[in-house]
Amino acid sequence: MNYILLIIGFFLLIKGADIFVDGASKISKKLGIPSVIVGLTIVSLGTSAPELAVSIISSLQGSNEIAVGNVLGSNIFNTLMVLGVTLIIMPLIIKKSTIKKDFFINIAVTTLFLLLTFNGILFGKENYISRFDGLLLLIGCVLYIVFLIWTVKGSKTNNAKDVAAEMAIASTDIEEINIPKSILSLIIGGIGIVLGGKIVVDSASSIATAWGMSDKLVGLTIVAMGTSLPELVTSAMAALKGEEDMALGNILGSNIFNILLIIGASSIISPILVSSTLIVDFIFLILVTILIAILIFAHKGKEKRLGKLEGILFVALYIGYMSYIIFRN
């Protein structure tokens, strides 16, 4: 029965993501908002909903290792597997100016997560993410949202000529876009993503438990992969539909919100005790994020093309990481 539910969950995820990306893309075109901003906000928040639900529920039930393992594992999955598979399906032409700030915010937030989690090592204490740490992360989340709103306003002003040109070329198509209908698509797609993610996680977790896996390993692997499936499907769909900025924006935004919002909320509900062995996973996440930043920003031009070769490299790194943590546990 769990295997049947797993298939149903995958179907809901894929269909929900397809509808969700369509709605988000139409809204961005109608309002003149750059796709990368939509990816960093609406899409990333929507695809992070499964992580939020799973982490809060696990915190309420006292299974804190699942919460932190879920976020850490999800961010590693997003950075390597989601981006890697997306690149294998469709190469991305990345505009450096649109994602530069968010890329470095992602690295800074991940480093802050590491420092808050393992500051106990410096004082010879256990590694806790306290309620105060959670409050700091939630404040950071609010500040990040304010930054995104400010970016939207600036982008709409700076891109006024581009939007006008686009409207002149395809004014009929843009006029035909129905905002209420597009918002309904966002809601229906979001419900499909969340429901599909929950079904996948529940059924996969039951299967994993039957195999005798630990909570930490389940959080880093099955639950992390299950809750990150919306990001995988949504970014792949966005790339196939030509929304390259939205595809990358979804990955960056999801990683940032996973730490600031999900860990922040979960640790306020219940302080999180973190195993010292996870420091390796934190450092690995920071290093691969820096690697991707180097691949993009070391190039002198305004744009950087990432293709199948880089995609295969990222997927191979994730498979190697998975082999390591399974062996470690």
pLDDT in tens, 37-67: 776 677 777 767 777 777 887 787 777 777 7
The DSSP line for 72-132 is HHHHHIIIIIIHHHHHHHS-EEEEHHHHHHHHHHHHHHHHHHHHHHHGGGTTTS--EE-HH
**pLDDT over threshold 80, residue 110:** yes
* pLDDT on residue 164: 47
Rounded Cα–Cα distance for residues 253 and 272 (Å): 23
215-268 pLDDT tens trace: 677 778 887 888 788 888 888 888 888 777 777 888 888 899 999 999 999 899
80-95: b (≥16 Cβ within 10 Å) or e: bbbbbbbbbbbbbebb
Mean pLDDT of 278-290: 91
| pLDDT confidence of residue 314 | 95
Of the candidate ranges 115-129, 135-149, 224-238, the one whose mean pLDDT is the lowest: 115-129
DSSP 3-state of 247: helix
Say how far apart CA 218 and CA 233 lie, in whole Å: 21
Instruction: Determine the angle formed by the axes of helices 224-240 and 244-257, rounding to 10 degrees.
Output: 160
Band the pLDDT of 323: cuts 50, 70, 90: very high
- pLDDT of the residue at 205: 72
- Give tens-digit pLDDT for 156-198: 555 544 444 444 444 545 566 788 888 898 899 888 877 887 7
Instruction: Measure the CA–CA gap between 130 and 44, rounded to whole angstroms.
Output: 26
Q: pLDDT band at residue 99, thresholds of 50, 70 and 90?
A: confident
306: enclosing H helix or E strand: strand 303-306
Q: What is the pLDDT of residue 175?
A: 60
Q: What is the pLDDT at residue 299?
A: 72
In this prediction, residues 298-314 reach a mean pLDDT of 85
pLDDT at 165: 46
Helices (H), 159-263: 160-169, 171-175, 179-210, 215-218, 224-240, 244-257
Q: pLDDT per residue over 23-43, tens digit each?
A: 877 877 777 777 667 766 777
> Residues in the chain, how many?
329
Report the pLDDT value the prediction gives residue 66, as an integer from 0 to 100. Answer: 76
For each of the domains in the chain, give its residue range(s) and CATH number, in order of start: 2-328 (1.20.1420.30)
- State percent of the chain over pLDDT 70: 86
